[in-house]
């Protein structure tokens, strides 16, 4: 079978496609014939050895996939060959077949395309964990999202709106803000055209933001912290802006606000029951059309460099998915 492999750390251009043996399921496992493997921003980091997860070489990128059940291991109940399935792996999904623990897989509705289902875990799972478990977002609160048109940001826009928040989308162009508006944002700030602190103060009439979902970091972080409301919750989700900011801690004291990390990958391992409840709720929303799981591009596996460029150059509006 074909697999996209990272044989040595470096840019996406250094990845290769190889033929490798097909996997066999062990006890408690299933094999998925992969139709779609989704990429995330951290996929640009993991192949360069700049991410907290450091797989042994060689490995396949892509943390999440969708397809059909191709084989079932000993002791597995509740699955049938050919059933549609999606799963979170952490890494390793960019290959034609993968082995996963049966308990890590979820059945997907025929109302969802493979590309949509593959992209639900990381972005929507992170947004669910961040907004529900970490921020305890309440209906009527103000939620601002930095990087609101990327895969992670759009997920937070949709879920925040479903939870009843007033959503302020913050992004780097008018077309990205228009996309966020289509997905439920009520207000928008183009942070390349106006000062984000001034914009958030204006939109909240000086009160500040209750919850801020930051997928960007970089130079936007400190002015965003300065825009928090009393007892606000600033969620650290990622650093698509490239640099990890250094926040003056006196701002947390003066604002009476919290700085909270959102590490969804660890949450999955530490609280699997809560994670499954989140995913079941998400899949119900997706099947009912309440979230759209927007896919920016579906790109064949052999054009992986193009897919990585969309993410690395911050051109993606929604998910980028490799198809097999």
How far is C-alpha 127 from the geometric centre of its chain's CA atoms?
7
Find out whether the peptide bond into 198 is cis, omega within 30 degrees of 0.
no
Q: What burial class does residue 138 get, using C-beta atoms within 10 Å of its C-beta: 0-12 exposed, 13-18 middle, 19+ buried? A: exposed
| Helix residue ranges, H only, the chain | 41-46, 114-118, 121-128, 151-162, 174-182, 196-203, 221-225, 250-255, 264-270, 272-287, 304-312
Q: What is the value of pTM for the model shown?
A: 0.82
Q: What is the pLDDT along the chain (324 residues), one digit of tens a residue?
A: 999 999 999 999 999 999 999 999 999 999 999 999 999 989 999 999 999 889 999 999 999 999 999 999 999 999 999 999 999 899 999 999 999 999 889 898 888 899 999 988 888 999 999 999 999 999 999 999 999 988 889 999 999 999 999 999 999 999 999 999 999 999 999 999 999 999 999 999 999 999 999 999 999 999 999 999 999 999 999 888 778 999 999 999 999 999 999 999 899 889 988 988 898 888 888 888 888 778 899 999 999 999 999 998 888 877 899 999
Secondary structure letter of residue 189 according to DSSP: E
In 10 A of CB 269, how many CB atoms?
Answer: 10
Q: Are 218 and 246 in contact (CB under 8 A)?
A: no
Full DSSP string of 213-260: EES--GGGHHHHHTTEEEEEEEEE---TTSS-----THHHHHHT-EEE
Please list, in sequence order, all residues whose beta carbon lies within 8 angstroms of the beta carbon of residue 202, skipping any fewer than 6 positions away.
none
């Amino acid at each position: 079978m074909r697999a996209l492999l990272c044989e040595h750390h470096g840019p996406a251009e250094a990845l290769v496609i190889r033929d490798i043996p097909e996997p066999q399921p062990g006890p408690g496992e299933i094999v998925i014939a992969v139709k779609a493997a989704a990429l995330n921003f951290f996929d640009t980091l993991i192949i360069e050895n700049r991410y907290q997860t450091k797989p042994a070489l060689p490995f396949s990128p892509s943390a999440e996939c969708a397809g059909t059940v191709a084989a079932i291991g000993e002791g597995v109940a509740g699955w049938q060959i050919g059933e549609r399935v999606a799963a979170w792996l952490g890494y390793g999904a960019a290959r034609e077949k993968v082995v996963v623990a049966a308990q890590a897989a979820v059945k997907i509705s025929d109302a969802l395309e493979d590309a949509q289902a593959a992209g639900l875990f990381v972005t929507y799972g992170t947004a669910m964990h961040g907004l529900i478990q970490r921020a305890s977002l309440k209906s009527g609160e103000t939620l601002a999202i930095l990087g609101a048109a990327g895969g992670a940001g759009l997920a937070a826009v949709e879920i925040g709106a479903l939870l009843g928040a007033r959503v302020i989308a913050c992004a780097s162009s008018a077309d990205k803000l228009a996309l966020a508006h289509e997905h439920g944002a009520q207000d928008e700030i183009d942070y390349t055209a106006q000062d984000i602190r001034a914009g958030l103060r204006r939109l909240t009439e000086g009160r500040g933001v209750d919850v801020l979902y930051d997928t960007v970091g970089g130079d936007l972080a400190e002015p965003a912290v300065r825009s928090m409301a009393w007892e606000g919750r600033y969620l650290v989700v990622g650093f698509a802006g490239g640099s990890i900011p250094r926040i003056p801690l006196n701002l947390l004291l003066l604002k009476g606000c919290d700085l909270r990390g959102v590490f969804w990958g660890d949450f999955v391992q530490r609280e699997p029951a809560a994670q499954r409840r989140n995913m079941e709720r998400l899949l119900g929303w997706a099947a009912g059309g309440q979230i759209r799981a927007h896919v920016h591009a579906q790109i064949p596996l052999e054009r992986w460099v193009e897919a990585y460029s969309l993410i690395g150059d911050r051109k993606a509006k929604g998910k980028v998915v490799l198809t097999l």
